[in-house]
């Protein structure tokens, strides 16, 4: 019996189980009368708990007005635990009280944060928690000095902590009813939030790699180079195109040029990972929405709190295309040849993610998840991609979703947070290596 248990409880299933457990606890806490100012249905509680645990930010509630302080703290705790991983805190706690950490638990946390084995998984968990605490603390202090001008002392402390955690964990939740639109032109607040989002989106492994590079004068890994280069490239291209769309859109003709530039840069950073917004997404034209959907689909970097196919996967596919056009069989990045397994995994991830989004989107259309005249073709697609990328941006249709729509988005958020391949491996009964190979035969493609 014990042998069957260990065979079935794979690292991927442990991750899925940890998220399901956290969502269940969060749901029960949110349904308590002390959490809300008005009764919350079961499906709405599950939706909110899933969105917080999967650090998405899509919500049918006004977090600042519909939830009590206790309810808001529940959401914030789910964001922190979901972003850093409940197993990270579990390992840290088990080590402190002297409990042994199983090999499968070690593999599960390595699956979440790194592509290589760690000798001491407790050290990995400790570094993850320490990095998060330092960045979130510094972010909270910097935000406090900016928001202390706008709010009473204690409220300034609270909103600073809330938004620093939300930004670093790439959650996109805000206690303000208009998210961050009221601070659209505030350069300081925008820069602080963008920096926190960027650091939360590049992944803990990259931050640790940079730390070692500075303190021990080691070379940056290929992974870190690809993550930083791709992230900066996407921010630059996204900002440039988004600013152009805002300049050419009559809807935003009254917005000052400074605000348009700041909004363009902010959303190029936030759209791939976090979902905090400084403009009304529902007012954007189709070109801008398409750009945002592309960025959301790419998502954050591996080992971070964000979703999507990840920046490294995108870089591998672009490199694959470039090398094929150059007539090369191997895929080369920064003068390093990538393993064929990595390339194959990247292709599988993109194809699988594309078909999953297409399936959810198709189900939303045929099942009628919105009342008449409450959403369009592109607004539903935007919602699905946002859920998969665990971004949380919306054109405003989230509160109007019926129960079927909420269930579909809940599933999408969970798959997006864990990753399509991780979820697929978790749902496969038993993964076994084939004992033989079939004969090879070619086909014509293209």
Sign of CA dihedral 200, 74, 44, 374: negative
Q: State the pLDDT at residue 358.
A: 97
Other CB atoms within 10 Å distance of the CB of residue 178: 14
Q: Residue 93: pLDDT band by 50, 70, 90 thresholds?
A: low
Is the model's pLDDT at 442 over the cut of 60? yes
- This prediction's pTM: 0.91
Greatest mean pLDDT range, 155-169, 240-254, 333-347: 155-169
What kind and span of H or E run contains 68? none
Cα 338 vs. chain centroid, distance in angstroms?
25
Cβ atoms of 135 and 199 within 8 Å: the answer is: yes
DSSP string, 261-327: HHHHHHHHHHTTTT---SS-GGG--HHHHHHHHHHHHH-S-TTSS--SS-HHHHHHHHHHHHHHHTT
330 three-class SS? coil
374-412 pLDDT, tens digit per residue, is 878 899 999 999 999 999 999 999 999 999 999 999 999
What pLDDT was estimated at residue 307? 87
Residue ranges covered by each domain of the chain: 119-427
Instruction: Write out pLDDT tens, residues 144-190.
Output: 999 998 899 999 999 999 999 999 999 989 999 999 999 999 999 99
Residue 221 to residue 205: CA distance in whole angstroms = 10
pLDDT band at residue 3 under the 50/70/90 scheme: low
User: In this model, does residue 6 exceed pLDDT 80?
Assistant: no
Contacts of 398 (CB under 8 A, 6+ apart): 58, 59, 60, 383, 409
Taking only the tens place, the pLDDT of each residue in 179-191 is 999 999 999 999 9
The pLDDT assigned to 250 comes to 84
Return the closest-CA partner of residue 103 out of 14, 18, 19.
14
Q: For the ranges 303-317, 357-371, 414-428, which has the lowest average pLDDT?
A: 414-428
Query: In the prediction, which pLDDT does 90 show?
Result: 62
How much is the average pLDDT of 406-424?
92
Is residue 88 within 8 A of residue 109, CB to CB? The reply is yes
Dihedrals φ, ψ of 59, to 5°? -150, 145
Find, among 313, 315, 297, 312, the residue nearest to 391 by Cα.
Answer: 297
Query: What was the pLDDT predicted at 105?
Result: 59
- Cα–Cα nearest to 231, from 181, 335, 323, 303: 303
Residues 156, 144: contact at Cβ < 8 Å? Answer: yes
Rounded to an integer, what distance in angstroms lies between the CA atom of residue 150 and that of residue 163?
15
For residue 72, what are the contacts with CB-CB under 8 A and spacing of at least 6? 63, 64, 162, 175
To the nearest whole percent, how much of the chain has pLDDT over 70? 89
Write down the mean pLDDT value for the chain: 88
Where does the pLDDT of residue 118 fall: very low under 50, low under 70, confident under 90, or very high at 90 and above? low
Please report which confidence band the pLDDT of residue 103 belongs to, taking 50, 70 and 90 as the band edges.
Answer: low
Burial 219-247 (b: 16+ CB within 10 A, else e): ebbebbbbbbebbeebbeebbebbbebbe
When pLDDT is cut at 50, 70 and 90, the band that residue 91 belongs to is low
Residue 9 tokens read as 């409880």
**In sequence order, what are the residues at sequence separation of 6 or more whose Cβ sits closer than 8 angstroms to the Cβ of residue 123?**
none
Average confidence (pLDDT) over 196-217: 90
pLDDT recorded at residue 99: 57
The stretch 117-141 carries a mean pLDDT of 84
Q: Looking at per-residue confidence, does 90 or 302 come out higher?
A: 302
Please give the pLDDT value at position 42.
96
Given a cut of 90, whether residue 120 has pLDDT beyond it is no
pLDDT band at 29 (very low <50, low <70, confident <90, very high): very high
| Percent share of the chain, pLDDT over 90 | 62
pLDDT of 10 reads: 73
């Amino acid at each position: 019996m014990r042998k069957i248990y260990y065979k079935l409880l794979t690292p991927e299933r442990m991750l899925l189980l940890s998220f399901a457990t956290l969502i269940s606890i969060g749901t029960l806490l949110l349904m308590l009368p002390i959490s809300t100012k008005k009764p919350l249905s079961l499906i709405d509680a599950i939706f909110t708990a899933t969105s917080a645990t999967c650090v998405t930010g899509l919500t049918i509630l006004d977090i600042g007005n519909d939830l009590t302080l206790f309810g808001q703290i529940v959401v914030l705790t789910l964001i922190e635990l979901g972003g850093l991983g409940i197993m990270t805190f579990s390992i840290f706690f088990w080590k402190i009280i002297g409990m042994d950490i199983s090999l499968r638990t070690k593999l599960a946390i390595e699956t979440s944060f790194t592509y290589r084995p760690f000798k001491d998984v407790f050290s990995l968990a400790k570094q993850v928690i320490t990095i998060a605490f330092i960045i979130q603390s510094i972010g909270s202090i910097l935000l406090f000095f900016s928001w202390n001008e706008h709010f009473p002392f204690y409220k300034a402390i609270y909103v600073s902590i809330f938004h620093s955690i939300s930004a670093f964990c790439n959650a996109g939740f805000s206690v303000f009813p208009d998210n961050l639109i009221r601070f659209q032109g505030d350069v300081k607040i925008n820069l602080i939030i963008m920096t926190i989002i960027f650091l939360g989106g590049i992944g803990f492994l990259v931050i640790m790699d940079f730390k070692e590079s500075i303190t021990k004068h080691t070379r940056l890994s290929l992974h870190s180079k690809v993550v930083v280069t791709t992230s900066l490239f996407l921010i630059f291209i996204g900002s440039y195109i988004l600013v152009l769309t805002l300049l050419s859109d009559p809807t935003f003709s009254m917005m000052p040029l400074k605000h348009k530039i700041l909004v363009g840069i902010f959303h190029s950073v936030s759209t791939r990972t976090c979902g905090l917004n400084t403009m009304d997404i529902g007012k954007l034209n189709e070109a801008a929405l398409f750009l945002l959907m592309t960025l959301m689909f790419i998502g954050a970097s591996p080992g971070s709190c964000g979703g999507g196919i990840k920046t490294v996967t995108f870089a591998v596919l672009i490199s694959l295309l470039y090398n094929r056009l150059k007539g090369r069989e191997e895929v080369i990045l920064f003068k390093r040849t990538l393993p064929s397994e990595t390339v194959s995994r990247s292709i599988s991830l993109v194809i699988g993610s594309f078909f999953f989004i297409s399936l959810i989107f198709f189900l939303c259309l045929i099942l009628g998840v919105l009342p008449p005249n409450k959403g369009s073709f592109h607004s539903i697609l935007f919602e699905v991609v946002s859920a998969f990328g665990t971004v949380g941006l919306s054109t405003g249709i989230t509160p109007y979703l019926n129960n079927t729509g909420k269930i579909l988005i809940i599933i999408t958020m969970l798959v997006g947070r864990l990753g399509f391949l991780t979820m697929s491996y978790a749902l496969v009964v038993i993964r076994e290596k084939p004992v033989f190979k079939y004969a090879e035969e070619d086909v014509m493609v293209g």
